[in-house]
Amino acid sequence: MSKPAAVSRARMYEVIRAPLITEKTTNGSEHGQVTFKVAADATKPEIKQAIEGLFKVKVKAVNTVTVKGKKKLFRGRPGVRSDWKKAIVSLADGHKIDVTTGL
């Protein structure tokens, strides 16, 4: 397997949209996992490079999930929320990210 091309700093900020803070992701943080909302076209190697580049940590693994948008009523008319992608990032032992502080 070849090494992925380097990701530019601007692309890193595009890939990582926001940290995801829910009860479930908070439980994951006890096991060295952090969850982020990421760009829909982001790949696992890109996400890994972006996290390592922006937060100066060592990433052990990246798992991704495409969350399908819900069907909702908007002013009485049916609509659909956009699909989005989340990444569950497992950090190497001894590394951690404090998502409550900004970059």
Query: pTM for the complete prediction?
Result: 0.87
Residues 81-93 have a mean pLDDT of 96
Residues 58-83 have a mean pLDDT of 96
Average model confidence (pLDDT) for the chain?
92
Q: Is the pLDDT of residue 103 over 70?
A: no
Q: Band of the pLDDT at 99, cuts 50, 70, 90?
A: confident
Q: What is the pLDDT of residue 96?
A: 87
Domain ranges of the chain: 9-91
DSSP string, 19-70: E---HHHHHHHTTTEEEEEE-TT--HHHHHHHHHHHH---EEEEEEEEEPPP
* Domain 9-91 CATH assignment equals 3.30.70.330: yes
- Order of strands, edge to edge, in the sheet holding 59-67? 16-19, 33-38, 84-91, 59-67
